[in-house]
Chains A and B, each alone.
Chain A
Amino acid sequence: MNFRLGNIFREVSYSLRRNPTLFLGTLVVIAISLLILGSGLVVRSAVENATARWKDGVEFIVFMNPDSSQVEIDAIKAKLDSNPEIIAADTRFVDKQDAFIEFQSLFQESDQIRESVTVEDMPPSYRVVPRNAESSVVEALADGFRDEPGVFQVVAAIDTIRAIENVGDNLNRQFLILGAFLLLAAMLLVYNTIRTTIFSRRREVEVMRLVGASNWYIRVPFMVEGVLQGLIAGLLTLPMYRVVNNFLSSLGDEESLNLLDGLRAPSGDVVTIWIAMVLLGAFIGAAASAVALSRYLDV
């Protein structure tokens, strides 16, 4: 078997020139479907990032002043431990060092914010797990700590954080369903472009078969065309994930310890999602052209 790369690209550019609207239209539909699927994953990753502090039953957080004394910190611990409504064993103390690490990961996207703080600036906190997670109960419990000496702020997860999680889940599911449908449409389009290409090149294919070109030699240029469409479409989606991510983080208020802080997918996740979408695009292209080939190219 002997494939000349030049030959393959000549075939692909030939089909692009023959029918640019079909080729480009297909490209756009694949890109949009990948984008929607990928955005669903970006939203999920952002929600996970934003709600990382609220895992394992944590319903409210008592932030201490960064300059609170050890006596004040211990007093809060005593008060938490003595309250039968609170599961003392699950309630966790996060010291300045851990808070700093958490902050760094929460705002890993904005160097400006990360560099503006030091370990000393960070408020230590208690992550409180109450026995009853009902919002009125949590609210009342949280209120009991607001006026204690050394306390900077008490933030309750109450309904807000759960709402974010719900919205995130729903959005994610809807994106996945919509994306899957569009992907199906994209496959039909790839199938059609390849069929058109096969048809427009039937004379060449006939001659190749007659003179004994191997099956793969005949097939590969068509496969490459489908795979390339998927690949290019996938590559095009990267800047769009950035846009989605920026929009999400603009919902939060980076100046305070807002509930929406860190509603942003870490860039590592974005790149992983992007690579997955590029591969998915290539796979879609390959699968659709394989089906078209098996139906219209009997070698």
Chain B
Amino acid sequence: MIKLENVSKIYKGDVVALRNVTCEIQKGEFVFLVGPSGSGKSTFMRLLNKEETPDSGVIYVAGKDIGRLSGWRVPFLRRNIGCIFQDFKLLDNRTVAQNVAFALEVIGRPRHVISNQVPAILELVGLSPKAHNYPEELSGGEQQRVSIARAFVNRPLILLADEPTGNLDPATSVGIMKLLDRINKTGTTVVMATHDRGIVDTMRKRVIELDQGNLARDQARGVYE
């Protein structure tokens, strides 16, 4: 599903974010990406949906070399990759339901599809009662559920989660992890960057560790350290 071959990314000012990283992630896997701040986790993810391009190396997503993808095809790549973040990135002037619907509207899904999908996905993330609330009326955990609903409503093949529990307390984080696990069980490949030792150690999934841009460890059913 995802394959990196000798991928390096150097930002301007000679900041090496990734150095010669090679790894492969199978369809349906759940992978933790760990490492200290600045070790290249976010860069790893941004390379996968072509928000950044590598300086060298080849990246395959769903069997395609995304380096050869022309500009107008990139949106189609992104429709197959859901993204969630530490800061949720919700639109304040839209309700929960509208935030989720937005993701379908802007890729041209017909109205009847939207009116079916949105309630179903809100049901899945447990937010049906709050469908008509605005983000500011929700707790952090609920806001992250909205962002998960938005990322997953188009049923992407891959879900990228960049420190999704970074702003949440441990109890709320457990709920989010259960949700991500359920999404993974539907066959969606999940890649999650995190600092959270507790989460990594209890889930016992594959762990890829980055250290100053180098792939330091790749361990099945691993722990944080």
Contact = CB atoms under 8 A, between A and B. Distances in A.
B79 interface: yes
Interface in A206-222: 206-215, 217-218
A148 B76 CA distance: 89
A215 B105 CA distance: 14
Contacts of B80: 212
Nearest to B77: A212
B102 interface: yes
A206 B80 CA distance: 17
Contacts of B72: 214-215
B36 interface: no
B91 A213 contact: no
B83 interface: yes
A215 B91 contact: no
B91 A210 contact: no
Interface in B71-100: 71-72, 75-80, 83, 89, 91
Interface of B: 49, 71-72, 75-80, 83, 89, 91, 102-103, 105-108, 150-151, 154
Contact of B79 (A1, A212, A218): A212
Nearest to B110: A2
A91 to B, nearest CB: 68
A224 to B, nearest CB: 16
The residue among B72, B83, B106 with the most chain A CB atoms within 10 A of its own CB is: B106
A204 interface: yes
Contacts of A55: none
3 nearest CB pairs, A to B? A2-B108, A212-B78, A212-B79
A214 B89 contact: no
Contact of A212 (B71, B105, B107): B107
Given A207-B91, A207-B150, 17 more contacts: A7-B105, A203-B91, A207-B103, A210-B49, A210-B78, A211-B78, A211-B79, A211-B103, A211-B106, A211-B150, A212-B75, A212-B76, A212-B107, A214-B75, A214-B107, A217-B107, A218-B106
15 contacts: A2-B108, A203-B89, A207-B102, A207-B103, A207-B150, A209-B75, A211-B106, A211-B150, A211-B154, A213-B75, A213-B106, A213-B107, A214-B72, A215-B75, A217-B106
B116 to A, nearest CB: 17
Contacts of B107: 211-214, 217
Contacts of A206: 89
Nearest to A210: B83
Nearest to B154: A211
Contact of B108 (A1, A204, A207, A218): A1
Contacts of B106: 208, 211, 213, 217-218
A215 B102 CA distance: 16
A221 B105 CA distance: 14
Contacts of A208: 106
Interface size bracket, A side: 10 to 19
A211 B103 CA distance: 6
Contacts of B79: 211-212
Given A211-B150, A211-B154, A217-B108, A204 B75 contact: no
A208 B105 CA distance: 10
Given A2-B108, A214-B72, A215-B71, A209 B78 contact: yes
Contacts of A213: 75, 106-107
A26 B162 CA distance: 42
Contacts of A1: 108
Contacts of A7: 105
A204 B77 contact: no
A292 B71 CA distance: 19
A297 to B, nearest CB: 13
Contacts of B75: 209, 212-215
Contacts of A215: 71-72, 75
B46 to A, nearest CB: 11
A213 B108 CA distance: 8
A210 B78 CA distance: 6
B103 to A, nearest CB: 4
A213 B77 CA distance: 11
